[in-house]
Amino acid sequence: MNTTRPRPGVSGVASADRVLTVLTAFRVGDAALSLAELASRTGLIKSTIMRLVVSLEKYGLVTRLADGNYILASEVVRLNAVYQDSHDVGRHIMPRLEHLTNESGETASYYVRHGAYRLCQYRVNSPHRLRLHLQPGDMRPMDKAAGALALQTPYEVAEAGIDPYYSCGATDPHAASVALPIYDAQEELLGAVVISGPANRLNLERAESLYPILREAADELTRSLGGKPLYGTGQPETKRRKG
């Protein structure tokens, strides 16, 4: 009796390769990709891409917009959270956010760049009843808010010396925030630490009083993630940047 097991076909592997080719076609800085752009980046024909996208949509990895373009979807955020947790990033970030909230009484968050948006990756809510309602995984525009400005700051600018960014009414007319960017050992931007609250409570004077604890938290987080602290005492004073 021939007990040799049949060899598995390669069609499944080939299909998986094509699905991953589409998924990895998305790059940092992409807002959305058209079918033509996906075809150009993957080398696949449009009809094949459309079939593959059905599977990606089924598993929440890609979403087709009303205009026919495609963006990465919420499952990518979940997988990123799993990745970050496996690398203990959250264990570095959350204690700093908890400390900021305890010291300031306001909400503390950690944002990362997500294409044309900023993604709230970690958050510790203010104990006040009146606070901003936003959860980890929510995305906001890259506008003139403090967190967005921090996520657009080149390392050389931060190294030269900056004050925390402050904004009021940039995204929400009733909200204010103060933020600093975080970098890794390769001087690449990792994210931004943000303190936010109602505009009538977190005015500029109140925000300035929080600059020292925000600088301290940013430096501690940068150091724990392998980067060079930038915001300690002795840094040169520069003109404050306002959103």
Q: Residue for token digits 């890609």?
A: 62
Would you state the pLDDT for residue 13?
57
Look at residue 116 in the predicted model and tell me its pLDDT.
Answer: 86
Report CA-CA distances (Å) from 112 to 35, 39, 115, 168.
27, 28, 10, 20
Q: What is the pLDDT of residue 67?
A: 93
pLDDT at 133: 59
Residues 109, 65, 71: CA angle, nearest 5 degrees:
50
Task: Please list, residue by residue across 13-52, b when 16 or more beta carbons sit within 10 angstroms of its beta carbon and e when fewer do.
Answer: eeeeebbebbbebbeeebebbebeebbebbebeeeebeeb
The contacts of residue 95 (CB under 8 Å, 6+ apart) are none
Using alpha carbons only, how large is the chain's radius of gyration in Å? 22
pLDDT score of 6: 41
pTM comes to 0.60
CATH 1.10.10.10 intervals, the chain = 11-72
> Looking at residue 241, what is its pLDDT?
40
Instruction: List where CATH 3.30.450.40 sits in the chain.
Output: 77-224
Q: For residue 226, what are its two tokens? A: 């392998």
Query: 77-224: which CATH architecture?
Result: 2-Layer Sandwich (3.30)
Q: Which fold has domain 11-72?
A: Arc Repressor Mutant, subunit A (1.10.10)
CA atoms within a 13 Å half-sphere pointing along the CA-CB vector of 76:
18
Q: How far apart are CA 90 and CA 92, in angstroms?
A: 5
Low-confidence ranges of the chain (pLDDT < 50): 1-11, 233-243
Task: Give residue-wise pLDDT tens across range 181-208.
Answer: 999 888 899 999 999 999 999 999 999 9
Q: In Å, how far are 25, 48, 114, 130 from 32, measured between CA atoms?
A: 11, 19, 11, 35
